[in-house]
Amino acid sequence: MKTFIAATFAAAAMAVQNLDHEFMQFVSHHGKNYQTVEEFAMRFDNFVQTHNFIQEHNSSNSTHSAAHNKFSDWTREEYTNMLGLKNMDAPKINGKTVSATNASVPSSVNWVEAGKVNAVKDQGQCGSCWSFSTTASMESAHAIKTGELLSLSEQELVDCSWPQGNMGCNGGWYYYGWNYLESHVSELEASYPYTAKDGRCHYDESAGSVETLGSGDDQGDYVSVTGSPDAIREALVQQPCSVAIQADQRVFQTYSSGVLTSTSCGTDIDHAVTAVGYGTENGSDYVLVRNSWGSSWGESGYIKIGLVDGAGICGVNQYVAYPNVKN
């Protein structure tokens, strides 16, 4: 019995020692800088909790893998503060709504591979995900229409679209971003760079690159898509779409690869992203989603979310829409 107890303590000590080493590698890799011994201990505890979740998840029969990333030492409050739809009411949707038409669609679509999606951006610790979703779908719509892939300004929307209902780093909706762009041109990121904080609006119409929204037909400035897998596929054949999801659970935070099909992700919307394609992997249908947390998160900044009926995995089916651009 004494030998067994000693072996158990030795194994536990070895596990803690290994985690100490892994945590220090994490700190070095992500350039973390803690100010006090107390903060170091708190961050280590957060890391251990995340580590335990990852270990448990990866030992289960799941359709996706989990891994550490730059959020592994964050508190829940820090993480949820970054989610820009957490405190936003359901949007006022003024665009046309379309449903599935049972049209024939290809088995997969990938606008990234087609060269119509910009490199993944990073919103930082500002709850401005909605602005990145607004610009990403605009950038792709413009690229598909003209062949020119531009990088549009998220900061313009953060600073200037408050009258339409957005709240800068405290949240907003891509619908309200498009409402702003009904009467304002979208400036280039180069002329109105991102700062990851609220700022004073210095909109300059002469610096604009993409004109106001509106296709000149009965579709209006943007189109909402009823949340069935067929309707979403039909929309994505045309262009990338802005979508909203729940992202405050560890199952999403620690996503690394594969298709996330877990219902534990939830369907209470708190984060805006962009759907840029769809397909099937190992028998699981998915929608390919571009996040705004940098390329070190997920699959080089992307996640494959299971495409199912109802509200969808992580609620992805609930607020699907795409903009019409004049040029």
pLDDT, averaged in runs of 10, over the chain (327 residues)? 40 59 96 97 97 97 97 95 93 88 95 98 97 96 93 97 96 95 91 97 84 55 93 97 98 98 97 98 98 98 98 98 87
Residue 4: its pLDDT value, please? 37
Q: Which of 64, 241, 271, 324 is catalytic?
A: 271
271 a catalytic residue: yes
291 a catalytic residue: yes
Q: How many whole angstroms separate alpha carbon 203 and alpha carbon 193?
A: 12
> Cβ distance 278 to 260 under 8 Å?
no
Q: Which of 57, 69, 129, 324 is catalytic?
A: 129
Residue 17: its pLDDT value, please? 63
State the architecture of 76-323 in CATH terms: Alpha-Beta Complex (3.90)
Contacts of 221 (CB under 8 A, 6+ apart): 94, 95, 178, 179, 181, 182, 213, 214, 323, 324
Residue 205: its pLDDT value, please? 85
This prediction has a pTM of: 0.92
Residue 200: its pLDDT value, please? 97
Residue 92: its pLDDT value, please? 85
Q: How many whole angstroms separate alpha carbon 133 and alpha carbon 135?
A: 6
Say what the alpha-carbon torsion angle 45, 48, 53, 57 is, to the nearest 10 degrees: 170
Residues of the chain with CATH 3.90.70.10: 76-323
Residue 82: its pLDDT value, please? 94
29 a catalytic residue: no
Q: Which two tokens stand for residue 261?
A: 């099909």
> Cβ distance 311 to 267 under 8 Å?
yes
| Chain-centroid distance, C-alpha 223 | 20
